[in-house]
Amino acid sequence: MNYQWNWGVFLEETPEGGVQYWELIVSGLGWTLAVSALSLLIALGLGAVIGTLRTTDRRWLVRLGNGWVELFRNIPLLVQMFLWYFVIPELVPPLKRWIVASDPVHAQFLSAVLCLGLFTSARVAEQVRAGIQSLPRGQRHAAAALGLTTAQAYRHVLLPMAFRIVIPPLTSEAMNLVKNSSIALTIGLAELTFRAREMGEYTFSFFEAFTAATIIYVVVATTVNRVMAWVERRVAVPGYIAGGGR
Protein backbone atom coordinates (compact mmCIF):
# COMPACT_ATOMS: atom_id res chain seq x y z
CA MET A 1 0.00 0.00 0.00
CA ASN A 2 1.37 3.36 -0.95
CA TYR A 3 -0.22 6.16 1.00
CA GLN A 4 1.52 9.45 1.75
CA TRP A 5 0.88 10.19 5.41
CA ASN A 6 0.72 13.90 6.20
CA TRP A 7 0.25 14.52 9.90
CA GLY A 8 0.88 18.27 9.49
CA VAL A 9 -2.62 18.53 8.01
CA PHE A 10 -4.09 18.97 11.51
CA LEU A 11 -2.38 22.37 11.79
CA GLU A 12 -3.71 23.62 8.44
CA GLU A 13 -6.59 26.07 8.36
CA THR A 14 -10.08 24.99 7.27
CA PRO A 15 -11.64 26.66 4.19
CA GLU A 16 -13.87 28.68 6.51
CA GLY A 17 -10.69 30.24 7.89
CA GLY A 18 -9.54 31.08 11.39
CA VAL A 19 -9.92 27.47 12.55
CA GLN A 20 -7.36 24.69 12.28
CA TYR A 21 -8.40 21.10 11.58
CA TRP A 22 -7.46 19.81 15.03
CA GLU A 23 -9.88 22.35 16.48
CA LEU A 24 -12.60 21.01 14.17
CA ILE A 25 -11.97 17.49 15.52
CA VAL A 26 -12.03 18.74 19.12
CA SER A 27 -15.34 20.55 18.57
CA GLY A 28 -16.71 17.27 17.17
CA LEU A 29 -15.56 15.48 20.32
CA GLY A 30 -17.40 18.13 22.34
CA TRP A 31 -20.70 17.32 20.61
CA THR A 32 -20.10 13.58 20.96
CA LEU A 33 -19.56 13.97 24.71
CA ALA A 34 -22.50 16.37 25.17
CA VAL A 35 -24.95 14.09 23.33
CA SER A 36 -23.64 10.98 25.12
CA ALA A 37 -23.75 12.52 28.61
CA LEU A 38 -27.28 13.91 28.28
CA SER A 39 -28.72 10.77 26.72
CA LEU A 40 -26.99 8.64 29.37
CA LEU A 41 -28.86 10.60 32.06
CA ILE A 42 -32.18 10.00 30.31
CA ALA A 43 -31.33 6.34 29.70
CA LEU A 44 -30.35 5.63 33.32
CA GLY A 45 -33.38 7.43 34.77
CA LEU A 46 -35.98 5.94 32.44
CA GLY A 47 -34.26 2.58 32.26
CA ALA A 48 -34.19 2.20 36.06
CA VAL A 49 -37.92 2.99 36.31
CA ILE A 50 -38.98 0.73 33.43
CA GLY A 51 -36.69 -2.10 34.48
CA THR A 52 -38.18 -1.96 37.98
CA LEU A 53 -41.76 -1.92 36.66
CA ARG A 54 -41.03 -5.13 34.76
CA THR A 55 -40.34 -7.00 38.02
CA THR A 56 -43.52 -5.95 39.85
CA ASP A 57 -46.61 -8.18 40.13
CA ARG A 58 -48.87 -5.75 38.25
CA ARG A 59 -49.54 -7.43 34.91
CA TRP A 60 -50.22 -4.23 32.97
CA LEU A 61 -47.04 -2.55 34.25
CA VAL A 62 -44.98 -5.56 33.18
CA ARG A 63 -46.69 -5.49 29.75
CA LEU A 64 -45.97 -1.77 29.40
CA GLY A 65 -42.31 -2.27 30.31
CA ASN A 66 -41.92 -5.24 27.96
CA GLY A 67 -43.58 -3.29 25.15
CA TRP A 68 -41.20 -0.38 25.69
CA VAL A 69 -38.15 -2.63 25.47
CA GLU A 70 -39.40 -4.49 22.38
CA LEU A 71 -40.30 -1.24 20.60
CA PHE A 72 -36.84 0.28 20.91
CA ARG A 73 -34.93 -2.96 20.44
CA ASN A 74 -36.51 -4.08 17.18
CA ILE A 75 -36.08 -0.97 15.02
CA PRO A 76 -32.60 -0.06 13.73
CA LEU A 77 -31.13 2.94 15.53
CA LEU A 78 -30.63 4.75 12.22
CA VAL A 79 -34.34 4.45 11.45
CA GLN A 80 -35.20 5.65 14.96
CA MET A 81 -32.95 8.66 14.37
CA PHE A 82 -34.89 9.45 11.16
CA LEU A 83 -38.20 9.05 12.98
CA TRP A 84 -37.18 11.56 15.67
CA TYR A 85 -35.70 14.07 13.24
CA PHE A 86 -37.88 13.83 10.11
CA VAL A 87 -41.17 12.19 11.12
CA ILE A 88 -42.18 13.30 14.63
CA PRO A 89 -41.93 17.07 13.90
CA GLU A 90 -44.26 16.56 10.90
CA LEU A 91 -46.82 14.90 13.15
CA VAL A 92 -46.61 17.64 15.83
CA PRO A 93 -47.22 21.02 14.13
CA PRO A 94 -46.11 23.30 17.05
CA LEU A 95 -42.80 21.42 17.22
CA LYS A 96 -42.39 21.84 13.46
CA ARG A 97 -42.94 25.62 13.75
CA TRP A 98 -40.28 25.86 16.50
CA ILE A 99 -37.78 23.88 14.40
CA VAL A 100 -38.32 26.02 11.30
CA ALA A 101 -37.83 29.19 13.35
CA SER A 102 -34.68 28.12 15.22
CA ASP A 103 -31.11 27.12 14.40
CA PRO A 104 -31.03 23.58 12.84
CA VAL A 105 -28.41 22.56 15.42
CA HIS A 106 -31.09 22.72 18.14
CA ALA A 107 -33.34 20.21 16.39
CA GLN A 108 -30.39 17.93 15.54
CA PHE A 109 -29.12 17.94 19.11
CA LEU A 110 -32.57 17.42 20.64
CA SER A 111 -33.45 14.58 18.22
CA ALA A 112 -30.11 12.85 18.82
CA VAL A 113 -30.39 13.10 22.62
CA LEU A 114 -34.00 11.84 22.72
CA CYS A 115 -33.31 9.07 20.21
CA LEU A 116 -30.18 7.76 21.95
CA GLY A 117 -31.64 8.31 25.42
CA LEU A 118 -34.82 6.33 24.76
CA PHE A 119 -33.03 3.63 22.74
CA THR A 120 -30.50 3.10 25.53
CA SER A 121 -33.20 3.27 28.22
CA ALA A 122 -34.69 0.07 26.78
CA ARG A 123 -31.31 -1.64 27.08
CA VAL A 124 -30.76 -0.32 30.61
CA ALA A 125 -34.27 -1.51 31.55
CA GLU A 126 -33.35 -5.01 30.39
CA GLN A 127 -30.20 -5.00 32.56
CA VAL A 128 -32.01 -3.59 35.61
CA ARG A 129 -34.76 -6.20 35.29
CA ALA A 130 -32.17 -8.98 35.08
CA GLY A 131 -30.33 -7.48 38.07
CA ILE A 132 -33.44 -7.42 40.25
CA GLN A 133 -34.47 -10.92 39.21
CA SER A 134 -30.99 -12.24 39.99
CA LEU A 135 -31.54 -11.42 43.68
CA PRO A 136 -32.52 -14.38 45.86
CA ARG A 137 -36.31 -14.64 46.27
CA GLY A 138 -35.74 -14.66 50.05
CA GLN A 139 -34.78 -10.96 50.00
CA ARG A 140 -38.26 -9.97 48.82
CA HIS A 141 -39.91 -12.34 51.30
CA ALA A 142 -37.72 -11.19 54.17
CA ALA A 143 -38.63 -7.57 53.42
CA ALA A 144 -42.34 -8.49 53.44
CA ALA A 145 -41.91 -10.43 56.71
CA LEU A 146 -40.35 -7.35 58.29
CA GLY A 147 -43.53 -5.43 57.42
CA LEU A 148 -42.08 -3.36 54.55
CA THR A 149 -44.50 -2.29 51.83
CA THR A 150 -43.66 -3.20 48.22
CA ALA A 151 -42.34 0.32 47.62
CA GLN A 152 -40.20 0.16 50.76
CA ALA A 153 -38.87 -3.27 49.84
CA TYR A 154 -37.72 -1.92 46.47
CA ARG A 155 -36.34 1.28 47.96
CA HIS A 156 -34.39 -0.23 50.87
CA VAL A 157 -33.72 -3.86 49.95
CA LEU A 158 -33.95 -4.80 46.27
CA LEU A 159 -32.80 -1.75 44.31
CA PRO A 160 -29.66 -0.95 46.35
CA MET A 161 -28.34 -4.44 45.62
CA ALA A 162 -29.64 -4.64 42.04
CA PHE A 163 -28.07 -1.34 40.99
CA ARG A 164 -24.69 -2.54 42.23
CA ILE A 165 -25.02 -5.83 40.37
CA VAL A 166 -25.79 -4.12 37.04
CA ILE A 167 -22.83 -1.72 37.08
CA PRO A 168 -20.64 -3.91 34.78
CA PRO A 169 -23.33 -4.36 32.07
CA LEU A 170 -24.24 -0.67 32.38
CA THR A 171 -20.58 0.16 31.75
CA SER A 172 -20.74 -1.53 28.37
CA GLU A 173 -24.07 0.21 27.66
CA ALA A 174 -22.42 3.57 28.36
CA MET A 175 -19.56 2.67 26.02
CA ASN A 176 -22.07 1.57 23.36
CA LEU A 177 -23.87 4.87 23.77
CA VAL A 178 -20.74 6.87 22.95
CA LYS A 179 -20.22 4.73 19.84
CA ASN A 180 -23.89 4.97 18.85
CA SER A 181 -23.80 8.77 19.08
CA SER A 182 -21.88 8.68 15.77
CA ILE A 183 -25.18 7.79 14.06
CA ALA A 184 -26.28 11.38 14.73
CA LEU A 185 -24.10 12.37 11.75
CA THR A 186 -26.90 11.08 9.50
CA ILE A 187 -29.12 13.97 10.66
CA GLY A 188 -26.25 16.44 10.25
CA LEU A 189 -25.04 16.79 13.83
CA ALA A 190 -21.35 17.76 13.66
CA GLU A 191 -20.02 15.18 16.13
CA LEU A 192 -16.63 13.48 16.03
CA THR A 193 -17.11 11.05 13.11
CA PHE A 194 -18.89 13.79 11.10
CA ARG A 195 -15.91 16.13 11.59
CA ALA A 196 -13.39 13.41 10.74
CA ARG A 197 -15.15 12.69 7.44
CA GLU A 198 -15.52 16.41 6.73
CA MET A 199 -11.80 16.92 7.31
CA GLY A 200 -11.08 13.98 4.98
CA GLU A 201 -13.24 15.48 2.26
CA TYR A 202 -11.59 18.92 2.47
CA THR A 203 -7.98 17.70 2.68
CA PHE A 204 -8.08 14.15 1.18
CA SER A 205 -6.19 13.14 4.35
CA PHE A 206 -8.92 10.60 5.17
CA PHE A 207 -6.67 8.19 7.02
CA GLU A 208 -5.11 10.85 9.26
CA ALA A 209 -8.58 12.12 10.18
CA PHE A 210 -9.96 8.60 10.80
CA THR A 211 -6.87 7.65 12.83
CA ALA A 212 -7.39 10.69 15.06
CA ALA A 213 -11.07 9.84 15.54
CA THR A 214 -10.24 6.17 16.23
CA ILE A 215 -7.69 7.10 18.90
CA ILE A 216 -10.12 9.54 20.52
CA TYR A 217 -12.91 6.92 20.63
CA VAL A 218 -10.54 4.36 22.18
CA VAL A 219 -9.43 6.92 24.79
CA VAL A 220 -13.03 7.87 25.62
CA ALA A 221 -14.05 4.20 25.90
CA THR A 222 -11.09 3.47 28.19
CA THR A 223 -11.92 6.50 30.36
CA VAL A 224 -15.58 5.47 30.70
CA ASN A 225 -14.41 1.99 31.65
CA ARG A 226 -12.03 3.31 34.34
CA VAL A 227 -14.59 5.73 35.79
CA MET A 228 -17.21 2.98 36.06
CA ALA A 229 -14.66 0.61 37.65
CA TRP A 230 -13.97 3.33 40.24
CA VAL A 231 -17.71 3.77 40.86
CA GLU A 232 -18.05 0.00 41.24
CA ARG A 233 -15.29 -0.06 43.90
CA ARG A 234 -16.71 2.96 45.73
CA VAL A 235 -20.22 1.51 46.10
CA ALA A 236 -19.13 -2.07 46.78
CA VAL A 237 -20.86 -3.80 49.71
CA PRO A 238 -18.14 -5.46 51.82
CA GLY A 239 -18.38 -9.24 51.84
CA TYR A 240 -20.41 -9.52 48.62
CA ILE A 241 -18.94 -11.09 45.50
CA ALA A 242 -21.26 -8.93 43.44
CA GLY A 243 -19.86 -5.89 45.23
CA GLY A 244 -16.21 -6.53 44.56
CA GLY A 245 -15.53 -9.59 46.70
CA ARG A 246 -13.86 -7.95 49.68
Residues found near other proteins in the complex (CB under 8 A): 1-3, 70-71, 73-80, 82-83, 86-87, 90-91, 93, 175, 179-183, 185-186, 193, 196-197, 200, 206-207, 210, 213-214, 217-218, 221-222
Give least dist CB 216 to other proteins, A.
9
Smallest CA-to-CA distance from 191 within 178, 203, 204, 172 is with: 178
By the 8 A CB rule, do 31 and 192 touch? yes
Residue 163: CB minimum distance to other proteins, A:
25
Dihedrals φ, ψ of 20, to 5°? -90, 160
For the four alpha carbons of 162, 66, 145 and 150, in that order, the dihedral sign comes to positive
Pick the closer one to other proteins by CB: 1 or 101. 1
Amino acid at 193: T
Q: Which residue from 46, 74, 33 is spatially nearest to 182, judged by alpha carbons?
A: 33
- CB closer to other proteins out of 91 and 151: 91
Please give the Cα distance from 203 to 9 (Å, whole number).
8
- Judged by beta carbon, residue 108 or residue 193, the one nearer other proteins is 193
Q: How far is CA 92 from CA 97, 99, 160, 213, in A?
A: 9, 11, 40, 36
Nearer to other proteins, 14 or 179 (CB): 179
- What's the CA dihedral at 188, 192, 195, 197 to 10 degrees? -90
Q: Which is nearer to other proteins, 6 or 149 (CB)?
A: 6
User: What's the min distance (Å) between Cβ of 83 and other proteins?
Assistant: 6
Least spacing, CB of residue 91 vs other proteins, in Å:
7
Q: Are 97 and 79 in contact (CB under 8 A)?
A: no
Residue 22 or 210: the one with the smaller Cβ distance to other proteins is 210
The distance of closest approach from Cβ of residue 56 to other proteins in the complex, given in angstroms and rounded to an integer, is: 21
CB of 220 to other proteins, least distance (A): 9
